[in-house]
Amino acid sequence: MKINIYYGGRGIIDDPTLSVIKKITTVLEELNVKVQQYNLYEQRNGITALPNTLKDADGVILASTVEWFGIGGYMMQFLDACWLYGDKDRIKEIYMAPVVMSTTHGEREGMMSLAAAWEMLGGLPCDGMCGYIADTTKLENSGEYTKIIEKKTENIYRTINQKMPVFPASNQAVINKVGVSSSLDLTPQESEQLSEYASDDQYVRKQKEDLQELASIFRDKMGQDEASGNSDEYAKLLMKKFTPVAGAKAKYKISFTDNPKLKPVVIDVAGSKCDCRAADEEGCDVILSAEQRIIEDILGGRMTFQRGFMEGSIKLKGDFKTLRNLDQLFDLMSE
């Protein structure tokens, strides 16, 4: 059996939660449990990837310290990452025991918050422990406190090992209603890059200037680009570069913002079949709008549709996941 401990405190020396975690780990290891501890303050730059560590865990302990108000930012970031990127089907099988120590007040509220959050994620909460500890040395030297921790740890072990049934909670119903996220289908790294770069106006402007300069250099060196010309030529090139993707079915329309006289390009994909044509049609799943030079850069293999959107060069109406499929459907980067 394996139990992961996620510690959301700041790692200070007199943090009572660290003392409790140490005693819990000792008891679990005596019961032949493999214990892996993750200190979130050490992993703060990679918290979005930590939900992947849940996959091989039978149970988890979420441990935090209330220093002034609530369970702290690191633990909230981890729970956010579990909601956005965690495997909900796997979380449904994982028991969680909250451990919250307080140096001020609010330990019970903190423990209840962790239990409620885990239930909303679809997981199985079990009895944890909480307490107000003003002096860590008393916790470390008290035999009575040690017995309490040992007893509660044994109960946690028994619950996880025997997979004891848990009453359903109303919090678990939330995941059925709002669990289907409407956010973009991105990896944690892509999400961070999108939020960081797309909000940086100076970065976006610089990227546009660099792309425009590169495009001019390519045109000067190569004369007329293979993908330059009119909508019919664009459609022919797309047909030439089409690569079937199993299960792909969508209708795209590419409009040119700086050349309204140029007809849009419609891409109609259904499995192994593709029809590209110059036309202005309704009922498209995804509508792309960009300057002609941006589309030529994409067709010339100097940019991807996804990169164009993330840099702000392409405006999108429709599902971003469907847009991402374009880079797989058309092998435009090949020679």
Owning domain of residue 125: 2-178
Q: What is the domain count for the chain?
A: 2
Residues 203 and 104 in one domain: no
CATH code, domain carrying 268: 3.30.1050.10
Q: Which of 156, 178, 200 is the last residue of a domain?
A: 178
Does the residue 201 lie in any domain? yes
Residues 168 and 49 in one domain: yes
Residues 143 and 237 in one domain: no
In order along its 335 residues, the chain shows pLDDT tens digits of 999 999 999 999 889 999 999 999 999 999 999 999 999 999 988 899 999 999 999 999 999 999 998 999 999 999 999 999 899 899 999 999 999 999 888 999 999 999 999 999 999 999 999 999 988 888 888 999 999 999 999 999 999 999 998 887 776 665 555 554 444 455 555 555 555 555 556 666 777 677 777 766 665 555 444 444 688 999 999 998 888 888 889 999 999 998 888 999 999 999 889 999 999 998 898 999 999 999 998 888 888 888 888 888 899 888 777 777 888 888 877 65
* pTM metric for this prediction: 0.56
Residues 202 and 233 in one domain: yes
Does the residue 334 lie in any domain? no
Residues 293 and 217 in one domain: yes
CA distances from 120 to 74, 178, 230 (A): 19, 10, 53
Report pLDDT for 230. 84
Is the sign of the CA dihedral 271, 273, 274, 279 positive or negative?
A: negative
As given in the structure block, the two tokens for residue 74 are: 């690191």
148 vs 154: CA distance, rounded Å = 10
Residues 10 and 96 in one domain: yes
Residues 196 and 284 in one domain: yes
Does the residue 289 lie in any domain? yes
Residues 82 and 217 in one domain: no
Q: Which ranges constitute the DSSP H helices of 12-106?
A: 16-30, 73-85, 88-91
**The residue to which tokens 């593709």 are assigned:** 274
Does the residue 183 lie in any domain? no
Report pLDDT for 183. 45
CATH code, domain carrying 122: 3.40.50.360
- For residue 170, the Cα-to-chain-centroid distance in whole angstroms is 25
Q: How far apart are the first and last CA of the chain?
A: 52
Residues 136 and 22 in one domain: yes
Does the residue 64 lie in any domain? yes
Element (H, E) at 138: helix 136-141
Does the residue 208 lie in any domain? yes
145 vs 153: CA distance, rounded Å = 12
Residues 265 and 123 in one domain: no
Q: Which of 178, 199, 224 is the last residue of a domain?
A: 178
Nearest of 253, 251, 255 to residue 290 by alpha carbon? 255
Q: Which of 148, 178, 208 is the last residue of a domain?
A: 178
Residues 193 and 161 in one domain: no
Does the residue 102 lie in any domain? yes
Assign 129 to helix, strand or coil: strand
Does the residue 233 lie in any domain? yes
1 vs 16: CA distance, rounded Å = 26
Whether 113 and 93 have beta carbons less than 8 Å apart is answered as: no
Residues 247 and 114 in one domain: no
Cβ neighbourhood burial of 148 (10 Å; 0-12, 13-18, 19+): middle
153 vs 139: CA distance, rounded Å = 16
Q: Which residues contact 118 (CB under 8 A, 6 or more apart)?
A: 62, 96, 98, 124, 125
